[in-house]
Amino acid sequence: MSASDQRPGRLAVGVVGAGRVGSALGRALGLAGHKVVAASGVSDASRERAGDRLPGVPLLPVPEVVAAADLVLLTVPDDALPSLVSGLITTDVDVRGKLLAHTSGRYGAGVLDPATRAGALPLALHPVMTFTGRPDDIDRLAGISFGVTSPDPLRPVAEALVVEMGGEPVWIPEDRRTLYHAALAGGANHLVTLVVESMDLLGRVGVDNPGRMLGPLLGAALDNALRLGAKGLTGPVARGDAGTVAGHVAELDRVSPEARGAYVALARLTADRALAAGLLKPDAAERLLDVLAERPERSGEGNQP
């Protein structure tokens, strides 16, 4: 296949790592008219998922998957990707002219350099979505962004594949991939932690259904953030209610020191954002930062005040 093609033809697709992401993308490419011809999976869960989402597709060793495919999806964990690529090149499989596409957010096309030097065509196609292994994973691909990085001649091919999977390609420069991924992971992963922590604290209060209580509030807060940015901030930090914040810190210190640490760190960042947005006056910000200052170490006293 020529790198100058503006649109990929019907491709034989191989999936290396038929887990949550690989099986979903393989299924999406199949629905777009490509043919998934082989997959690999190590865990029982991956093999079962491949059977459900990629019925009839043989599960083969990695070199055989690569040999059978025109487009190879490398859908393995970030930390496993470099060794997978270097290990693949030590085998006898011919990668010349094959599209190798990984789905890691952390890496750009550079991680595929050993394969590129051997003649492969490198693509980084990172779906900006969480995958839980549930049936709705495939439906969630519709309209999501994909962080795309590739050599310039392959950019039309990469973007066309994303569009065929129902996504929207967003170009990410090679040297910005780590920052791009940190932004996404910090937002999505930490959001889950914050919500679960809030639910746990409400449970300690005696709220029977914390999720039901938080749902409308958090939905509105997320909508405000996405539409208004920092101007969407509300609450005691944005208002400069230092006394209220001090009470929160003291109570969290008593109940959950770990939650207190997260609350203080995020409150500081919130105060900075509110100040920059003009929501918080400098004198109120100063009082807040006094409340949020690090405590001196208290050796031998534990966490109780």
Predicted confidence (pLDDT) per residue in 22-34, tens digit: 999 999 999 999 9
Mean pLDDT along residues 46-53? 83
- H or E element that contains 259: helix 257-276
Average model confidence (pLDDT) across the chain: 91
Indicate if the pLDDT at residue 270 is higher than 60: yes
* Average pLDDT of the segment spanning 289-302: 64
Strands 168-171 and 35-40: unpaired
At residue 4, the pLDDT reads 40
- Residues near 9 by beta carbon (within 8 Å), at least 6 away in sequence: 1
The 10 Å Cβ neighbour count of residue 118 is 17
Residue that the structure tokens 């780590």 belong to: 178
Q: Do residues 261 and 253 make contact, with C-beta atoms less than 8 angstroms apart?
A: no
Return d(Cα 243, Cα 182) in angstroms, integer. 33
Neighbour-count burial of 293, counting CB atoms closer than 10 A to its CB (0-12 exposed, 13-18 middle, 19+ buried): exposed
Residue-level length of the chain: 305
pLDDT of 214 reads 97
Q: How far apart are CA 18 and CA 57, in angstroms?
A: 11
As a whole number, mean pLDDT of residues 258-287 equals 95
Task: State mean pLDDT over 131-145.
Answer: 88
Q: Residue 206: what pLDDT?
A: 97
Task: Give the tens place of pLDDT for each residue, 234-249.
Answer: 999 999 999 999 999 9
Check whether 3 has a pLDDT greater than 60: no
Average the pLDDT over 91-96 and give the result.
93
Share of the chain above pLDDT 70, in %: 93
Could you tell me the pTM of the whole model? 0.85
Name the helix (H) or strand (E) containing 164. helix 155-164
The predicted model gives 132-136 an average pLDDT of 82
pLDDT band, residue 305 (cuts 50/70/90): very low
Q: What is the pLDDT of residue 295?
A: 62
Whether residue 301 has pLDDT greater than 80 = no
**Which helix (H) or strand (E) covers residue 295, if one does?**
none
CATH numbers and ranges of domains, the chain: 12-172 (3.40.50.720), 180-291 (1.10.1040)
Does residue 156 register a pLDDT over 50? yes
Kindly state the helix (H) or strand (E) to which residue 123 belongs, with its residue range. Answer: strand 121-127
